[in-house]
Amino acid sequence: MSLDQILQRADVWRAGRLPATQRAVASGFERLDARLPGGGWPRGALTEILFAREGTGTLRLLMPALARLSRDEDRWICWVAPPWIPYAPALQDAGIDLSRVLLVHPGVRQDGLWAVEQSLRSGTCSAVLAWPTVNDSAVLRRLQLAAEAGDASGFLFRSQSVAGSPSPAALRLQLHARRGDDLVVSLLKRRGGQPTGPLHLPSRQAHGRALVVPAHSAVAAGCLPSQWQ
């Protein structure tokens, strides 16, 4: 067998080249897509997003991809036990088709993991979002297999304290505390690639800047509290 033949094999990977076979959904952040195998969030696999603190861009990182999935695929975007209420007006503003959104509120933690696995495995969810608190690689392995079986993108939001423990997820990235509206992420693990240093992702749309004032409201220039003037 010649070297060329060997290199043609699907299971031979050459260092320095991202495997092209990985199926993915574009994240909407060009600099990130360029570094992700397949050019986006992996499909049929788990992605772990590790964060230092809630509210530092974890969800905004996914919005472009979720918007695309909700419009292109007739499958659910399933949120299992979200920490707060996903706010419908903001999701709609981000371009998500709300009729594809499924909120699951399990009563106990075990049911939560069960619901994540069922949703991933069912084949009827394009994306499953979960905030697991367990750090058990056997459980995560099951979820990874379920995502493969159901061709779903599973997004697990976890605390960065688990960064050191092994994980079967296809992609792990860490979200750093940010300055301004930019998101800063490091890839800790990606299939067929080395970890990367921090990447600055310019946020295309800053929140809260477009000031919407209801027509009837009485906004006057002098109404600001004195300490803000």
* Interaction site with other proteins (CB under 8 A): 52-60, 63, 74-76, 82-94, 98-99, 101-107, 111, 114-115, 118-119, 122-125, 177-180, 207-214, 216-219, 223-225, 227-228
Distance set, CA 134 to CA 102, 156, 162 (Å): 23, 11, 10
Minimum distance from residue 80 beta carbon to other proteins (Å): 9
**CA nearest to 79, candidates 130, 43, 34, 122:** 130
Judged on CB neighbours under 10 Å (0-12, 13-18, 19+), 88 is exposed
Q: Which is nearer to other proteins, 124 or 159 (CB)?
A: 124
Task: Find the shortest distance in angstroms from Cβ 10 to other proteins.
Answer: 26
Distance CA 151, CA 179 (A): 35
| Residue positions counted in the chain | 229
Q: How far is the CB of 1 from other proteins (least distance, A)?
A: 39
**CA-based radius of gyration for the chain:** 20
- Minimum distance from residue 55 beta carbon to other proteins (Å): 4
Q: Which of 134, 133, 135 minimizes the C-alpha distance to 165?
A: 135
> Which is nearer to other proteins, 58 or 144 (by Cβ)?
58
CB of 38 or CB of 130, closer to other proteins: 130
Nearer to other proteins, 39 or 117 (CB): 117
Q: Name the helix (H) or strand (E) containing 153.
A: strand 153-159
Q: Nearer to other proteins by C-beta: 41 or 76? A: 76
Question: Considering the complex, what minimum distance in angstroms separates the CB of residue 184 from other proteins?
Answer: 10
